Amino acid sequence: MIPSLAWLIFYLHEDMEHPEPKILIFYTFIAGAVVTLLVLGFQFAAHSWLRAQGIATYSFTSFLFLAGIEEIFKFLAVYLTVSRRKEFDEPVDAMVYMIVAALGFATVENIGSIFQANAAPYLSPGPIETTVLRFVGATLLHTLTSGVVGFYWGKALAKHGSYAGLIVKGLLLATLLHTIFNYLIIKSEPLALPLVFLLFVGMFVLSDFEKLKHSKQI
């Protein structure tokens, strides 16, 4: 849980001017964790269908489908949990809660990775190495892609228009970024390339966060 908690502290510190209720942060984190189980089921079905269509497991198309499932369910976790609460009153709140749900989602993934590392120590990095890689890799990825969705959702709330269109745009962009990272992890030998990609995306997400912080209340 260390990678997720570390990023959670970082992002909540960025929202210190108008902090969100801790209970809603907790609910959202749990919602993000719970949908991981639903995602697993949908991804298993999608994987089987893609194989039946002759699409390779580690192809860009396969990554695109699987990433899209994750981004949609992370959005639904937030939408169903807090979007109608009175505390959800600023455009930046969409970004904050999306990132929190993403961290809940990543926590379950991290725990699964640690168990896998313990079960097959000769086939994968050890628990410590896995934690470090998850911190700078997949956990950060989930916060950034969900942050992108939250940014477009926040823009829709600030403008009071193009609601569905902007959210769909955010989901599509997040899915594409998620897919590119996964593809780079599998296809590129040096780990530095996908990490540089994440840092590049991260600069834009933090900039978007600052923009929404100064947007008017909903």
Report pLDDT digits (tens) over 35-57.
Answer: 999 999 999 999 999 999 999 88
What domain range is 68 assigned to?
2-213
Which residue is associated with the tokens 């590119």?
Answer: 180
Rounded Cα–Cα distance for residues 178 and 69 (Å)? 11
Residue 9 lies in a domain: yes
Rounded Cα–Cα distance for residues 116 and 47 (Å)? 20
Residue 165: Cβ within 10 Å count: 11
Split into its structural domains, the chain has a count of: 1
Confidence band, pLDDT 50/70/90 cuts, at residue 119? low
Rounded Cα–Cα distance for residues 59 and 39 (Å)? 19
Residue 181 lies in a domain: yes
Residue 44 lies in a domain: yes
Position 6 scores a pLDDT of 78
Residue 100 lies in a domain: yes
Task: Indicate the pTM of the whole model.
Answer: 0.87
Residue 191 lies in a domain: yes
Rounded Cα–Cα distance for residues 74 and 80 (Å)? 10
Residue 218 lies in a domain: no
Residue 155 lies in a domain: yes
Position 54 scores a pLDDT of 92
Residue 64: Cβ within 10 Å count: 18
The answer, yes or no, to whether residue 217 has pLDDT greater than 60, is no
Residue 103 lies in a domain: yes
Position 136 scores a pLDDT of 65
The answer, yes or no, to whether residue 158 has pLDDT greater than 90, is no
The answer, yes or no, to whether residue 125 has pLDDT greater than 60, is no
Rounded Cα–Cα distance for residues 143 and 181 (Å)? 13
